[in-house]
A and B are shown apart, each in its own frame.
Chain A
Amino acid sequence: MARKQYPPFYEKAIPIALVIIGLLVVALLVIIGIVFSSQ
Protein backbone atom coordinates (compact mmCIF):
# COMPACT_ATOMS: atom_id res chain seq x y z
CA MET A 1 0.00 0.00 0.00
CA ALA A 2 1.47 3.34 -1.04
CA ARG A 3 1.55 6.24 1.39
CA LYS A 4 1.11 9.77 0.07
CA GLN A 5 4.12 12.02 0.51
CA TYR A 6 4.97 15.66 0.12
CA PRO A 7 8.16 16.63 -1.74
CA PRO A 8 11.24 15.68 0.36
CA PHE A 9 12.02 19.25 1.49
CA TYR A 10 8.57 19.69 3.02
CA GLU A 11 8.60 16.20 4.53
CA LYS A 12 11.61 17.28 6.59
CA ALA A 13 10.94 20.97 7.10
CA ILE A 14 7.31 20.90 8.23
CA PRO A 15 7.69 18.73 11.35
CA ILE A 16 10.76 20.74 12.39
CA ALA A 17 8.85 24.00 11.93
CA LEU A 18 5.85 22.71 13.89
CA VAL A 19 8.05 21.62 16.80
CA ILE A 20 10.00 24.92 16.83
CA ILE A 21 6.83 27.03 16.83
CA GLY A 22 5.35 24.83 19.55
CA LEU A 23 8.46 25.37 21.68
CA LEU A 24 8.25 29.13 21.00
CA VAL A 25 4.67 29.14 22.27
CA VAL A 26 5.83 27.44 25.47
CA ALA A 27 8.70 29.94 25.79
CA LEU A 28 6.27 32.81 25.27
CA LEU A 29 4.01 31.51 28.02
CA VAL A 30 7.02 31.31 30.35
CA ILE A 31 8.06 34.91 29.48
CA ILE A 32 4.50 36.16 30.01
CA GLY A 33 4.46 34.33 33.33
CA ILE A 34 7.73 36.01 34.36
CA VAL A 35 6.49 39.47 33.30
CA PHE A 36 3.18 38.91 35.05
CA SER A 37 4.72 37.68 38.28
CA SER A 38 7.25 40.54 38.39
CA GLN A 39 4.52 43.22 38.30
Chain B
Amino acid sequence: MNPIAFIPLTSAVISLVFSVFVFRRYLEKHHTHNLLWSIGMLFYAIGGACEAFYGFLGWNPLVFRLWYLFGALLVAAWLGQGTVYLLAKPRLANILMVVLALGSLFGAYRVFTAQLDPAGMISSLHTGSELSGGAIQTPGVRMLTPFFNLYGTLALVGGALYSAFLFFRKRVLLHRVVGNVLIATGAILPAFGGAFSRFGIPGALYISELLGAIILFIGFLRATSPMPVQKAAAQPTVSG
Protein backbone atom coordinates (compact mmCIF):
# COMPACT_ATOMS: atom_id res chain seq x y z
CA MET B 1 0.00 0.00 0.00
CA ASN B 2 1.29 3.41 -0.97
CA PRO B 3 0.41 6.03 1.66
CA ILE B 4 0.30 8.68 -1.07
CA ALA B 5 -3.02 7.08 -2.08
CA PHE B 6 -4.76 8.91 0.77
CA ILE B 7 -4.31 12.15 -1.20
CA PRO B 8 -6.42 11.11 -4.24
CA LEU B 9 -8.86 9.36 -1.89
CA THR B 10 -9.45 12.71 -0.18
CA SER B 11 -9.79 14.39 -3.59
CA ALA B 12 -12.38 11.79 -4.59
CA VAL B 13 -14.47 12.32 -1.45
CA ILE B 14 -14.38 16.13 -1.77
CA SER B 15 -15.23 15.98 -5.49
CA LEU B 16 -18.11 13.59 -4.87
CA VAL B 17 -19.56 15.85 -2.17
CA PHE B 18 -19.11 18.80 -4.54
CA SER B 19 -20.80 16.89 -7.37
CA VAL B 20 -23.82 16.01 -5.20
CA PHE B 21 -24.00 19.60 -3.96
CA VAL B 22 -24.07 21.02 -7.50
CA PHE B 23 -26.51 18.35 -8.68
CA ARG B 24 -28.93 19.33 -5.93
CA ARG B 25 -28.64 22.90 -7.13
CA TYR B 26 -29.41 21.69 -10.64
CA LEU B 27 -32.55 19.94 -9.36
CA GLU B 28 -33.64 23.20 -7.73
CA LYS B 29 -32.94 25.58 -10.61
CA HIS B 30 -32.62 23.40 -13.74
CA HIS B 31 -29.62 25.29 -15.08
CA THR B 32 -27.64 23.20 -17.56
CA HIS B 33 -24.27 24.51 -16.35
CA ASN B 34 -24.93 23.05 -12.91
CA LEU B 35 -25.69 19.64 -14.42
CA LEU B 36 -22.44 19.69 -16.42
CA TRP B 37 -20.38 20.84 -13.44
CA SER B 38 -21.96 18.07 -11.41
CA ILE B 39 -21.01 15.51 -14.09
CA GLY B 40 -17.51 17.03 -14.33
CA MET B 41 -16.96 16.76 -10.59
CA LEU B 42 -18.25 13.18 -10.67
CA PHE B 43 -15.56 12.46 -13.28
CA TYR B 44 -13.05 14.18 -10.96
CA ALA B 45 -14.16 11.85 -8.16
CA ILE B 46 -13.88 8.77 -10.38
CA GLY B 47 -10.35 9.82 -11.36
CA GLY B 48 -9.34 10.29 -7.72
CA ALA B 49 -10.93 6.99 -6.68
CA CYS B 50 -9.00 5.14 -9.42
CA GLU B 51 -5.73 6.76 -8.31
CA ALA B 52 -6.47 5.71 -4.73
CA PHE B 53 -7.33 2.18 -5.87
CA TYR B 54 -3.98 1.92 -7.64
CA GLY B 55 -2.16 3.18 -4.54
CA PHE B 56 -3.92 0.77 -2.18
CA LEU B 57 -4.40 -2.34 -4.33
CA GLY B 58 -2.09 -2.00 -7.31
CA TRP B 59 -2.49 -2.27 -11.06
CA ASN B 60 -5.84 -3.15 -12.61
CA PRO B 61 -6.44 -2.56 -16.33
CA LEU B 62 -10.13 -1.64 -15.95
CA VAL B 63 -9.34 0.86 -13.19
CA PHE B 64 -6.57 2.32 -15.32
CA ARG B 65 -8.91 2.75 -18.30
CA LEU B 66 -11.55 4.39 -16.10
CA TRP B 67 -8.87 6.68 -14.65
CA TYR B 68 -7.55 7.68 -18.03
CA LEU B 69 -10.99 8.25 -19.55
CA PHE B 70 -12.62 10.18 -16.71
CA GLY B 71 -9.66 11.54 -14.75
CA ALA B 72 -7.21 12.41 -17.51
CA LEU B 73 -9.30 12.87 -20.67
CA LEU B 74 -12.80 14.14 -19.89
CA VAL B 75 -12.94 15.91 -16.53
CA ALA B 76 -11.65 19.35 -17.56
CA ALA B 77 -13.63 19.40 -20.80
CA TRP B 78 -16.96 18.60 -19.12
CA LEU B 79 -16.36 21.17 -16.37
CA GLY B 80 -15.41 23.71 -19.05
CA GLN B 81 -18.56 22.85 -21.01
CA GLY B 82 -20.56 23.89 -17.95
CA THR B 83 -18.96 27.31 -18.13
CA VAL B 84 -19.66 27.45 -21.87
CA TYR B 85 -23.36 26.92 -21.09
CA LEU B 86 -23.17 29.67 -18.49
CA LEU B 87 -21.55 32.28 -20.75
CA ALA B 88 -22.08 31.40 -24.42
CA LYS B 89 -25.23 31.65 -26.50
CA PRO B 90 -27.38 28.50 -26.15
CA ARG B 91 -26.99 27.56 -29.84
CA LEU B 92 -23.19 27.69 -29.69
CA ALA B 93 -23.17 25.85 -26.35
CA ASN B 94 -25.40 23.12 -27.80
CA ILE B 95 -23.17 22.69 -30.86
CA LEU B 96 -20.05 22.44 -28.67
CA MET B 97 -21.91 19.99 -26.41
CA VAL B 98 -22.62 17.70 -29.38
CA VAL B 99 -18.95 17.90 -30.43
CA LEU B 100 -17.82 17.15 -26.87
CA ALA B 101 -20.24 14.24 -26.49
CA LEU B 102 -19.10 12.68 -29.78
CA GLY B 103 -15.46 13.34 -28.89
CA SER B 104 -16.00 11.73 -25.49
CA LEU B 105 -17.51 8.62 -27.07
CA PHE B 106 -14.59 8.41 -29.49
CA GLY B 107 -12.18 8.90 -26.58
CA ALA B 108 -13.91 6.14 -24.60
CA TYR B 109 -13.63 3.78 -27.57
CA ARG B 110 -9.92 4.54 -28.00
CA VAL B 111 -9.15 4.21 -24.27
CA PHE B 112 -11.05 0.94 -23.86
CA THR B 113 -9.47 -0.65 -26.93
CA ALA B 114 -5.92 0.56 -26.23
CA GLN B 115 -3.12 -1.85 -25.43
CA LEU B 116 -1.74 -1.34 -21.92
CA ASP B 117 1.53 -2.12 -20.22
CA PRO B 118 1.97 -0.98 -16.60
CA ALA B 119 5.74 -1.10 -17.08
CA GLY B 120 5.28 1.93 -19.33
CA MET B 121 4.54 4.02 -16.22
CA ILE B 122 8.12 3.53 -15.04
CA SER B 123 10.61 5.68 -16.88
CA SER B 124 13.67 7.81 -16.21
CA LEU B 125 11.26 10.42 -14.84
CA HIS B 126 8.54 8.32 -13.21
CA THR B 127 8.82 5.69 -10.51
CA GLY B 128 5.41 4.23 -11.28
CA SER B 129 4.11 5.16 -7.81
CA GLU B 130 1.40 7.24 -9.48
CA LEU B 131 -0.82 6.42 -12.42
CA SER B 132 0.53 7.74 -15.69
CA GLY B 133 -0.64 7.68 -19.29
CA GLY B 134 2.70 6.03 -20.09
CA ALA B 135 0.96 2.67 -19.64
CA ILE B 136 -0.92 3.21 -22.91
CA GLN B 137 0.96 1.51 -25.72
CA THR B 138 -1.41 2.17 -28.64
CA PRO B 139 -0.22 5.19 -30.60
CA GLY B 140 -2.50 8.21 -30.89
CA VAL B 141 -4.58 7.67 -27.73
CA ARG B 142 -2.57 10.03 -25.55
CA MET B 143 -2.58 12.62 -28.32
CA LEU B 144 -6.31 13.16 -27.62
CA THR B 145 -5.73 14.41 -24.08
CA PRO B 146 -4.28 17.89 -24.79
CA PHE B 147 -7.24 18.78 -27.04
CA PHE B 148 -9.81 17.93 -24.37
CA ASN B 149 -7.79 19.51 -21.58
CA LEU B 150 -6.96 22.65 -23.50
CA TYR B 151 -10.63 23.19 -24.35
CA GLY B 152 -11.74 22.49 -20.80
CA THR B 153 -9.08 24.50 -19.02
CA LEU B 154 -9.42 27.51 -21.30
CA ALA B 155 -13.22 27.44 -21.02
CA LEU B 156 -13.26 26.98 -17.24
CA VAL B 157 -10.37 29.28 -16.35
CA GLY B 158 -11.07 31.78 -19.12
CA GLY B 159 -14.77 31.85 -18.29
CA ALA B 160 -14.13 32.37 -14.59
CA LEU B 161 -11.61 35.14 -15.28
CA TYR B 162 -13.97 36.80 -17.76
CA SER B 163 -16.88 36.69 -15.29
CA ALA B 164 -14.70 38.01 -12.47
CA PHE B 165 -13.47 40.84 -14.69
CA LEU B 166 -17.01 41.84 -15.75
CA PHE B 167 -18.27 42.00 -12.17
CA PHE B 168 -15.11 43.74 -11.00
CA ARG B 169 -15.36 46.39 -13.70
CA LYS B 170 -18.89 47.25 -12.56
CA ARG B 171 -17.95 46.83 -8.87
CA VAL B 172 -20.95 44.57 -8.26
CA LEU B 173 -21.46 41.12 -6.71
CA LEU B 174 -18.15 40.89 -4.88
CA HIS B 175 -18.86 37.28 -3.89
CA ARG B 176 -19.03 36.33 -7.59
CA VAL B 177 -15.68 38.02 -8.26
CA VAL B 178 -13.97 36.25 -5.36
CA GLY B 179 -15.68 32.94 -6.22
CA ASN B 180 -14.61 33.13 -9.85
CA VAL B 181 -11.02 33.98 -8.95
CA LEU B 182 -10.97 30.89 -6.73
CA ILE B 183 -12.60 28.75 -9.44
CA ALA B 184 -9.98 29.90 -11.96
CA THR B 185 -7.21 29.09 -9.47
CA GLY B 186 -8.66 25.69 -8.60
CA ALA B 187 -9.12 24.82 -12.26
CA ILE B 188 -5.61 25.69 -13.32
CA LEU B 189 -3.90 23.77 -10.50
CA PRO B 190 -4.53 20.22 -11.81
CA ALA B 191 -3.45 21.35 -15.28
CA PHE B 192 -0.11 22.45 -13.83
CA GLY B 193 0.10 19.27 -11.76
CA GLY B 194 -0.37 17.18 -14.89
CA ALA B 195 2.34 19.15 -16.67
CA PHE B 196 4.77 18.89 -13.74
CA SER B 197 4.02 15.18 -13.43
CA ARG B 198 5.25 14.76 -17.00
CA PHE B 199 8.52 16.31 -15.90
CA GLY B 200 8.79 13.66 -13.17
CA ILE B 201 7.98 15.73 -10.09
CA PRO B 202 6.65 13.16 -7.57
CA GLY B 203 3.25 13.83 -6.06
CA ALA B 204 2.65 16.90 -8.26
CA LEU B 205 -0.44 15.49 -9.91
CA TYR B 206 -2.18 14.14 -6.81
CA ILE B 207 -1.43 17.17 -4.63
CA SER B 208 -2.52 19.62 -7.32
CA GLU B 209 -5.73 17.64 -7.86
CA LEU B 210 -6.51 17.75 -4.14
CA LEU B 211 -5.82 21.48 -3.88
CA GLY B 212 -7.78 22.02 -7.10
CA ALA B 213 -10.85 20.17 -5.76
CA ILE B 214 -10.75 22.09 -2.46
CA ILE B 215 -10.31 25.51 -4.08
CA LEU B 216 -12.93 24.81 -6.76
CA PHE B 217 -15.44 23.82 -4.07
CA ILE B 218 -14.68 26.90 -1.95
CA GLY B 219 -14.92 29.06 -5.08
CA PHE B 220 -18.29 27.60 -5.98
CA LEU B 221 -19.60 28.11 -2.45
CA ARG B 222 -18.24 31.66 -2.42
CA ALA B 223 -19.72 32.51 -5.82
CA THR B 224 -23.15 31.27 -4.80
CA SER B 225 -23.37 32.90 -1.35
CA PRO B 226 -23.50 36.69 -1.19
CA MET B 227 -20.85 38.32 1.00
CA PRO B 228 -21.87 40.76 3.70
CA VAL B 229 -20.14 43.71 2.06
CA GLN B 230 -19.52 46.72 4.22
CA LYS B 231 -20.71 49.96 2.81
CA ALA B 232 -17.55 51.20 1.13
CA ALA B 233 -16.76 54.86 1.12
CA ALA B 234 -17.59 56.26 -2.28
CA GLN B 235 -14.74 58.12 -3.88
CA PRO B 236 -15.32 61.03 -6.19
CA THR B 237 -14.08 60.59 -9.73
CA VAL B 238 -12.95 63.26 -12.08
CA SER B 239 -15.28 63.61 -15.01
CA GLY B 240 -15.41 65.85 -18.00
CB-CB contacts of A1-26 with B at 8 A, as 1s and 0s? 11111111010001101100110110
In the bound complex, residues from chain B placing their C-beta under 8 Å from that of A5 are: 171, 232-235
A14 and B195 contact, CB distance less than 8 A:
no
In the bound complex, residues from chain B placing their C-beta under 8 Å from that of A8 are: 232
B195 and A3 contact, CB distance less than 8 A:
no
Known A-B contacts A7-B229, A32-B150; A1 and B195 likewise in contact (beta carbons under 8 Å): no
In the bound complex, residues from chain A placing their C-beta under 8 Å from that of B165 are: 18
Q: Does B75 contact A (CB under 8 A)?
A: no
Chain A's interface size range is 20 to 34
* Min distance, Cβ A17 to any Cβ of chain B, angstroms: 5
For the complex, count residues of B whose C-beta is within 8 A of A: 33
A6 and B171 contact, CB distance less than 8 A:
yes
Partner of B195, one of A21, A22, A25, A28: A28
In the complex, which residues 196-217 of chain B have their Cβ closer than 8 Å to any Cβ of chain A? 198
Q: Which of B12-20, B25-33, B97-105, B153-161 contacts A (4 or more CB under 8 A)?
A: B153-161
Partner of A35, one of B198, B234, B237: B198
B237 and A1 contact, CB distance less than 8 A:
yes
The residues of A with any CB-CB pair to B shorter than 8 Å are 1-8, 10, 14-15, 17-18, 21-22, 24-25, 28, 31-32, 35-36
Which 8 residue pairs of A and B lie closest in terms of their CB atoms, listed nearest first?
Answer: A2-B234, A4-B171, A31-B195, A3-B237, A5-B232, A17-B181, A21-B184, A14-B168
